[in-house]
């Protein structure tokens, strides 16, 4: 599949990915010591939902567009950092903007924290550089994300997260995700890793999860959100493997994922999974 992100900004996959990202960032902020957030496939940083790319697909209408109505009080409490970051980005850049992961990371950085955004695509990288390389807390690198991953860890702060969000344009990239994630955890065992994948070939995702369950030396969670019945001809949903998740994340996901599955369901189908992987926490 080809996942050039400008066409998909604000869709159901972004809602899941960015909710989890903001929960982890909020958790990192609880300690005063600095942290580093590394985004290996960063894209443009943020996207205009009225632009041609997003307008062609309109996917955001069935993603962030369905979150306008409030949820129950307990769900809203856990969505609050995500909603606050979205509001802050829009206050700065306009009401039709949807933040990618670099824009969300920037909202959580304090003095001393660091965001590192990696993008290989020349045009996208130039935009990302113009948007974020002037902030002393952020740095943009023009590198292949898979090459950058081992080069950037462990960070000097020894605290932080790595978001691995490849475009899945190359066959076998889900399998590569598993291999590279295991190598990264072997090099920086205490970092939090968020590894995103599309759910199109459900069997491939199950194999990924089984291999990581058997091989990971650290506790992890598998978080899936499906908004269509599983169908190998279409994107049915997406998921994240979260290695070294915050200790509250499983309980939080058990509250938020059912609400998102119900709200974002299409053709009467929505489902979710929150399952531990690897050794017990």
The verdict on whether residue 213 carries a ligand-binding annotation is no
Diameter over CA atoms, the chain: 48
62 catalytic per annotation:
no
The verdict on whether residue 145 carries a ligand-binding annotation is yes
Which structure tokens are listed for 72? Answer: 């129950």
CA pair distance 206, 126, nearest whole angstrom: 37
Beta bridge partners of 39: 117, 163
> Taking the CB of residue 262, how many other CB atoms lie within 10 A of it?
12
The verdict on whether residue 211 carries a ligand-binding annotation is no
CA pair distance 190, 142, nearest whole angstrom: 26
Contact indicator for 5, 65 with CB cutoff of 8 Å? no
The verdict on whether residue 18 carries a ligand-binding annotation is yes
The verdict on whether residue 107 carries a ligand-binding annotation is no
Q: Residue 198 in 3-state DSSP?
A: strand
Q: For the stretch 214-253, what's the b/e string if a residue is b when 16 or more beta carbons lie within 10 angstroms of its beta carbon?
A: eebebbbbbbbbbbbebeeeebbbbbbbbbbbbeebbebb
Catalytic residue among 39, 62, 113, 165: 165
Q: Which residues are annotated as a binding site?
A: 18, 41, 101, 119, 144-145, 165
Which residues are tagged catalytic?
165
Q: Which residues are annotated as a binding site for S-adenosyl-L-methionine?
A: 18, 41, 101, 119, 144-145, 165
């Amino acid at each position: 599949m080809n996942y050039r992100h400008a066409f998909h900004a604000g869709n159901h996959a972004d809602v899941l990915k960015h909710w989890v990202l903001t929960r982890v960032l909020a958790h990192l902020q609880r300690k005063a010591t600095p942290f580093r957030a590394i985004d290996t496939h960063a894209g443009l940083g943020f996207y205009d939902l009225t632009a041609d790319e997003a307008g062609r697909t309109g996917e955001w209408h069935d993603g962030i567009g369905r979150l306008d109505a409030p949820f129950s009080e307990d769900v809203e409490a856990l969505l609050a950092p995500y909603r606050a970051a979205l509001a802050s980005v829009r206050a700065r850049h306009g009401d039709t903007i949807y933040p990618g992961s670099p824009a969300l990371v920037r909202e959580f950085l304090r003095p001393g924290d660091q965001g590192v955004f990696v993008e290989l695509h020349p045009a996208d990288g130039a935009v990302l550089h113009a948007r974020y390389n002037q902030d002393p807390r952020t740095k943009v690198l023009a590198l292949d994300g898979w090459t950058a991953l081992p080069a950037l860890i462990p960070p000097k702060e020894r605290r932080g997260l790595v978001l691995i969000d490849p475009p899945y344009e190359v066959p076998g990239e889900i399998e590569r995700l598993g291999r590279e994630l295991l190598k990264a955890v072997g090099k920086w065992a205490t970092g939090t890793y968020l590894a995103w994948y599309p759910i199109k070939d459900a069997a491939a995702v199950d194999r990924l999860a089984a291999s990581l369950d058997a091989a990971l030396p650290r506790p992890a969670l598998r978080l899936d959100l499906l908004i269509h019945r599983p169908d190998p001809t279409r994107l049915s949903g997406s998921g994240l493997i979260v290695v070294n998740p915050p200790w509250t994340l499983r309980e939080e996901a058990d509250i938020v994922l059912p609400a998102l599955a119900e709200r974002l369901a299409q053709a009467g189908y929505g489902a979710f999974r929150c399952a531990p992987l690897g050794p017990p926490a």
